């Protein structure tokens, strides 16, 4: 499958709402999917880093992905993400997802501290692609195991089922080198403070955490670039950079959830050992949301987290 059809545009990496005991909050998750849909996103990703996929059991990933598929009702594609330490574990998740009608799998290299060889990575993606019934996107996110543009190109040339790369390395030089190596139609941008520049290089789209916090402005940024409206794109870009500066860093999924809570979604918990954000960080996020130059359904409200112990 080519990346130039359904898997294009703003593909939002969903957060995973948990309750105070660390259990899945499926009602809150469905509300989040509906919220993303209402802002015109072009796809959703379940169980990525923003979705705390590294904390999920295989059955939980399947439950969440099935819920997302039911919510979107075929309107947009659903991608499931796999973040595990071995091919064996990844195969277990692929098997758990067999009954769910997803459009693609986003699979990170093994993320344990020791780097696999290039031959090992090729075998990893070959094995998983053979087991999957859908195309695979390389999730190039791990700082100690970032795949070089040449390695990505080798995997894509060797394994036809691998259709693209989500490039999360924050180096724009690395991003531009990857685009030059494999072509822009196979690259999904995840440099949250440089999405405008990534789009201008012709990205297939984005799978970026900032879109989980503000889906509407992210869709408008994409649309502005596609329409050639650079002036409007620069304005939206500046607002998203301000927002990203309040979100990046430690406990990022918790910060994204705080931003969502400030816009009317459930004020859900991250999964331990991650903690909910402090009041001062929440206020910074609130200020950045208020300054966005695009309608974002932001409604200043009393923060319910201050009414109960965290």
Amino acid 5: pLDDT? 58
Amino acid 111: pLDDT? 79
- Domain 9-214 matching CATH 3.50.50.100: the answer reads no
Amino acid 306: pLDDT? 30
Spatial neighbors of 309 by CB under 8 A, at least 6 apart, are: none
Amino acid 310: pLDDT? 27
Spatial neighbors of 22 by CB under 8 A, at least 6 apart, are: 269, 271, 272
Amino acid 249: pLDDT? 86
Q: Give strand pairing partners of 139.
A: 166
Q: How far is Cα 204 from Cα 208, in angstroms, rounded to an integer?
A: 13
pLDDT < 70 positions in the chain: 1-5, 295-310
Element (H, E) at 175: helix 172-182
**CA proximity to 207, closest of 134, 124, 137:** 137
CA distances from 141 to 76, 148, 191, 195, 207 (A): 24, 11, 11, 16, 11
């Amino acid at each position: 499958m080519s990346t130039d059809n359904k898997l294009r545009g703003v593909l939002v990496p969903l957060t995973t709402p948990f309750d105070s005991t660390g259990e899945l909050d499926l009602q809150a998750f469905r509300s989040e999917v509906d919220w993303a849909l209402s802002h015109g996103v072009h796809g959703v990703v379940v169980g990525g880093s923003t979705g705390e996929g590294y904390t999920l059991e295989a059955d939980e990933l399947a439950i969440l992905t099935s819920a997302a598929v039911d919510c979107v009702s075929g309107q947009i594609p659903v991608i499931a993400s796999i973040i595990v330490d071995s091919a064996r574990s990844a195969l277990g998740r692929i098997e758990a997802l067999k009954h769910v009608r997803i459009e693609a799998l986003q699979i990170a290299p093994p993320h344990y501290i020791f780097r696999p060889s290039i031959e090992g990575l090729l075998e990893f993606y070959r094995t998983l692609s053979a087991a999957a019934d859908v195309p695979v996107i390389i999730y190039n996110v791990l700082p100690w195991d970032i795949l070089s543009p040449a390695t990505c190109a080798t995997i894509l040339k060797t394994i036809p089922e691998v259709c693209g790369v989500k490039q999360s390395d924050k180096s724009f030089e690395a991003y531009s080198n990857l685009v030059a190596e494999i072509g822009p139609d196979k690259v999904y941008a995840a440099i949250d403070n440089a999405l405008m520049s990534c789009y201008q290089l012709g990205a297939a789209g984005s799978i970026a955490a900032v879109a989980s916090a503000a889906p509407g402005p992210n869709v408008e940024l994409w649309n502005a670039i596609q329409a050639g409206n650079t002036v409007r794109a620069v304005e939206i870009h500046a607002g998203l950079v301000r927002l990203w500066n309040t979100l990046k860093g430690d406990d990022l999924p918790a910060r994204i959830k705080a931003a969502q809570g400030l816009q009317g979604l459930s004020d859900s918990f991250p999964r331990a050992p991650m903690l909910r954000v402090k009041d001062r960080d929440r206020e910074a996020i609130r200020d950045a949301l208020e300054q966005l130059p695009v309608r974002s359904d932001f409604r200043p409200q009393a923060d319910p987290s201050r009414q109960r112990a965290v």
